[in-house]
Structure 1
Amino acid sequence: MRVTTNVGVGGLSPRALDETARCPSSALSSLADWQEDARPAAFPFRPIVRHYQAVGRGQVDAELVKALRVLAEEGRPRRGRGGRAADGLILSSWLPCTFDQEDGDYDSYGAILLLHRVAETTPGGPDAGLDLQQVALLADLLAFEAAAAAGRGRRSRQEVRVRACLRALARAGELAPGAAGVTARFPAAPAADRAGELARLALDAVPPAVRLAAEITLLPMTPLHDEVMFIRSIQVFELVYRQVARRLERAVAALAGGDAAAATAEVRDATARVAATGSLYRVLTTMPKESFAVIRSSTDGRSAIQSRAYREVERLSAPLPTEQLPMELLRLDERPRPGRSLQEEYLATGGGPPLDGLAAAMAGLDKAWQAMKRTHWGIALKIIGRVPGTGGSSGADYLREAAERPLFPALSPGGKHA
């Protein structure tokens, strides 16, 4: 990795300058104390996570990695403070992400399974949990970027990043409407110099388990500042895709049960979420090419193509025949998904005027989904050009091809039922 003395956008994370965190002694001693304590006690996530963030997963102390791997393989992570089962669930889901340096995938890189499990156990149910988790991730990112911007000029790259993150959090109500209890407290037009306050307001308002999940799932491969933003962006997009997939799944079930109105409402909800991702992409545009080149070289095997939630959205919409799947997806050896897709269920009803509202909603989702993919392609072209993307994918060329594929080909212009 190229050595740099800069801190912030285009340079090192401020956490890489923390000499105490760079030294593994605090993490090792905290873990040893926890293992020797006969009483149920809170797992020492913070000193361990601080070490990972200071040096990057690729340079974490080998003794610490070995100890965490042994703990996971023993299969006996104890309950957390007060013996709460939820804390044990968080720990058992988190541990595999700490020793995946050689064989990790996209899910372990972003700790996606942990985020999903925490959402599923959040009061209010998975839908509310996923939305609250998005707010927590965006707030944590804003707090990180705002702290790095202290004392810098308004035209600095760091200030540009802060403003982009501030807009994303301020518009989180569109992206995650299930978190309205939190986002309703936000000021209508938050000022950039109050960004840290807004972030703290959001983090203080989410459930403790959601806040903890946001904190401990930031395990970058490098000590670069920009990888923090990259991981947070991945995580939020994954939760958006998961929410869209959940709505498509419910739309299929509703249509199969003869409730076209409910199916239409689910599709419209999904569309609004996809349309709101523009603020997330504005954050990604602040990624310097040089930083992404280092991140890409450090994340071999962790390609966004592996996103399960993204592929679930496309399968629930209208799975492509195997012969039409791009090579990147064929390498994943996907098994056929049981049950009908929304397009198949729609066609089975015969369509017609009673389903005109649903057809229009499906067309709207298709348009929003393709617009999102085109935006992704454009940003990738700007940042990485036509070189391979993360995980060895074909990068921008793959994204261009993906952007041209409709979600509902039978209903798209030129389709048999358009």
Structure 2
Amino acid sequence: MSAVQELMRGLAKFDVLAYGGEAHRVGRQELARDESIKDTISSLSALAADVSNTGSVEIDRPTYNLIEVSRLFLEAQDYIMAQEKPRYEPYAAALVLRHILGIDGSHDLAVTRRKIWSVFEQKVKEQIAFDSAAIAGTADQEKVGFCPQVARARCEILQTVRQIIPVRTELRVCPSRPVDRSLLDVAGESTGTSAVRSLLVFPQTSCHDEVSFLHAIHMSECLFWGSLLFVQRTLAALHSGQIALALPLVIMASEFAAPLVKLFHSVRKMPPEHFLGFRDATGEASAVQSLSWQLLDAHMYGVIPEKTEALSAAPELRRVLLLATPSFVPLVEMMQHLGGSAAEEAVHERVVELDHHLRGWRKFHEKQLAGRKDPGYLPPDAPGTGGTAGYGYLASQTLPPALRFDGCTQATPPKKASRSAATPH
């Protein structure tokens, strides 16, 4: 039996729905005490890594994708099972989501855009369905800390989020297809719908709002990656003098950033005591470790000096520091180099809109979620979960001045390398 055949056999035996059901029932923290589950995941993870690393002539494109989704899922679970303190990427299955979105693939940008919006909408609908089932009393499991008023308020906000999604192409599975149970079937389902539904949400505890928290992380990751892809393309267009091309690109970047504040309004409905009920179980997992956000922030504003230490301390984020060079000019600074043509003014206006969305999200995160006194999501004198100073870390960061659009941009000569366009964020 070849390694690929052995892996497929193991994936076919792994009941991912049963594993997920237990994780929701008792929490993954408790599930990690089961040596049988730990051994199964560890051996399958090692086998998937070996097959992925060595490659094989037996592997066609669909099979390769199946193996990669399985490998990323298993590695995240293996890390959580083996480590006392989770980190962001394995806790939120962020690398699985990134693969599903096709961020590193060679797809046409329009295809990737539709895929990201489709996954985002699926996650919004899943969260609404999760809360709605609990409200109606039809949920599969009764979870800790459920509050109908919180769930209703969250659903109302998420319904408004759905209304501003610009692309309505949803992921779909053939109606006659049965619900996938094995990891082989879930990872191999071609649209990615089954993987989004079954391979991303594995709470550490049995708290109802931790599931909602994980859904919000996945929605945010979709928006960060989507906005980043189009900010990067906007920068490339501006560097090459393609002003007309830059305009639709920055518009689409702004579309991805637009729901961020409203999404975090839904997170804010979670009472602080609910968050504190599962916070310790998340270990070192923190949005500070989100590569998509840190790259987006750096491409917009440069690498902010106050973030250097945090970026250096997180292995998954050190690549962001590569942007801390004199040759890198972030989008906000790039606006200083535009002239006053109608096309350039149109780009400038849209970048101002994008800047407004991202600053609004940062400020909401800083004041409403990380603030120490109100709303109290951090215990007194507690650091942030990512090892930062929490609110102090966020409040200390100094962005470039906010952009304004008055209908008349003015070109200025490029700055010399001393500015922190590329000084760490």
TM-score range, shorter chain: 0.7 to 0.9
Q: Which runs of 5+ in 1 are unaligned?
A: 1-33, 184-205
Q: CA deviation at 1:216?
A: 2.0
How far does residue 340 in structure 1 lie from its aligned partner after superposition? 4.2
The CA distance in 2 between the partners of 1:105 and 1:207, in whole Å, is 29
Query: 115, 122, 132: which one pairs with 2:118?
Result: 132
- What aligned pairs does 1:350-369 form with structure 2 within 5 A after superposition? 351-353=339-341, 355-369=344-358
- 1:80-229 equivalences in 2 (<5 Å): 84-101=63-80, 102=83, 104-120=86-102, 125-150=111-136, 157-174=147-164, 176-178=165-167, 180-182=168-170, 208-229=191-212
- 1:256-283 CA-partner distances (Å, limit 9, x unpaired): 2222132122223222332322331222
Offset, 1:135: 1.2
Q: Which residue of 2 aligns with 1:50?
A: 21
The CA distance in 2 between the partners of 1:145 and 1:297, in whole Å, is 23
Q: Displacement, 1:177?
A: 2.2
Query: In the superposition, relative to structure 1, how do residues 358 and 210 fare at CA in structure 2: closer, same or farther (>3 Å)?
Result: same
Indicate whether 1:247 and 2:230 are aligned.
Answer: yes
Q: Using the TM superposition, give the Cα deviation of residue 396 of structure 1 relative to its aligned residue in structure 2, in angstroms.
A: 2.5
| CA deviation string 1:82-131 (max 9, x = no partner) | x8443323211100111223254211111111112112279973221111
Aligned residues: CA RMSD: 3.6
Match of 2:244 among 245, 261, 281: 261
Given the superposition, is the C-alpha separation of residues 344 and 234 from structure 1 closer, same or farther in structure 2, using an over 3 Å criterion? same
Equivalents in 2 of 1:77, 1:223: separation in Å?
34
- Report the CA distance shift for 1:288/1:38 in structure 2 as closer, same or farther (over 3 A): closer
- Structure 1 Cα separation of the partners of residues 170 and 365 of structure 2: 28
- What is the aligned partner in structure 2 of residue 191 from structure 1? none
Moved more, 100-109 or 307-316: 100-109
User: Distance in 1 between the 2:299 and 2:125 partners?
Assistant: 31
Residue 275 of structure 1: which of 258, 274, 278 is its match?
258
**Shift in alpha-carbon separation, 1:251–1:147, aligned structure 2, 3 A:** same
Q: How far apart, CA to CA, are the structure 1 residues paired with 2:352 and 2:255?
A: 13
SS at match of 1:335: helix
- The aligned counterpart of 1:294 is 277
Contact 2:302 2:329 in 1 (8 A): no
Q: Following the alignment from structure 2 to structure 1, what is the Cα–Cα distance between the partners of residues 384 and 169? A: 38
SS of structure 2 residue aligned to 1:70: helix
Q: Contact between 2:224 and 2:292, CA under 8 Å: does it hold in 1?
A: yes
Q: Residue 98 and residue 105 in structure 1: after superposition, are their counterparts in 2 closer, same or farther (change >3 A)? A: same
* 1:204-239 per-position Cα deviation (integer Å, ceiling 9, x unaligned): xx9752243232211111111110011111111111
Whole-Å separation in 2 of the counterparts to 1:411 and 1:401: 23
1:393 aligns to 2:388 (yes or no): yes
Distance 2:287 2:202 in 1: 17
> C-alpha offsets along residues 308-361 of structure 1, whole Å, 9 cap, x if unaligned?
111111221231364x546433433443238543345445x5534452222222
Letter matched to residue 158 of structure 1: P
Which runs of 5 or more structure 2 residues have no equivalent in the other structure?
A: 53-57, 139-145, 172-188, 414-425
Secondary structure, counterpart of 2:151 in structure 1:
helix
Q: Is the 8 A contact 1:226 1:291 kept in 2?
A: yes
**Would the alpha carbon gap of residues 394 and 416 (structure 1) be closer, same or farther in structure 2, given more than 3 Å must change?**
farther
SS of corresponding position for 1:279? helix
Question: Structure 1 residues 230, 271: closer, same or farther in 2, change over 3 A?
Answer: same
User: Scaled by the length of structure 2, what TM-score is found?
Assistant: 0.72
Instruction: From the superposition, tell whether residues 40 and 362 of structure 1 become closer, same or farther in structure 2 (CA, over 3 Å).
Output: closer
Tell whether the 8 Å contact from 1:77 to 1:91 is kept in structure 2 after alignment. no
Shift in CA distance, 39/94, structure 1 to aligned 2, threshold 3 Å: closer
